[in-house]
Amino acid sequence: MDSVLWYIVPLGLAVALSLFPILAVVLLLLSPNPVPVSVGYLAGWSSGVLVLVTLFTFGARLIPPSSEASMPPWAHVVELVLGAALVVAGIWRVVADRRRTSPASPRRGPRRWITSARAEPSRSGSP
């Protein structure tokens, strides 16, 4: 059971710390009435995660246990190589972004897409 946690915990952390929920919370807190909107978002997000975890937990019980207890050795090597490649790609992306915006020409103000986002009833389709 402990070996399963080594695979599940990083995935759970990735879901919990994903950029989209954090970005949504920031936009909601900057809205004209942040408290009621944020409470609704928290309730919806929490119940959605709870439903998905419950469905996948019961779905995992339907899968028959495998006769082989461990993964083949090459699978561990593939995991390490893919993880290292993702880390290198992330570092490369950050370095490339910093080169594009040199200190001589700093970006002023927020980006255009973030200023165009509004949490108003008229734009969200509500009456």
Task: Give residue-wise pLDDT tens across range 2-27.
Answer: 677 777 888 878 877 788 888 888 88
Q: What is the pLDDT of residue 121?
A: 58
3 and 59 together in one domain? yes
Say how many domains are in the chain: 2
45 and 86 together in one domain? no
**pTM reported for the whole predicted model:** 0.44
Residue 26 in domain:
yes
Helix (H), strand (E), coil (C) string for the chain: CHHHHHHHHHHHHHHHCCHHHHHHHHHHHCCCCHHHHHHHHHHHHHHHHHHHHHHHHHHHHCCCCCCCCCCCHHHHHHHHHHHHHHHHHHHHHHHHHHHHCCCCCCCCCCCHHHHHCCCCHHHHCCC
Is the pLDDT at 111 greater than 60, yes or no? yes
- Rounded to the nearest integer, the mean pLDDT of the chain is 79
Residue 49 in domain:
yes
**What is the domain extent for residue 16?**
1-70
pLDDT digits (tens, 9 = 90+) for 76-97: 889 899 999 999 999 999 888 8
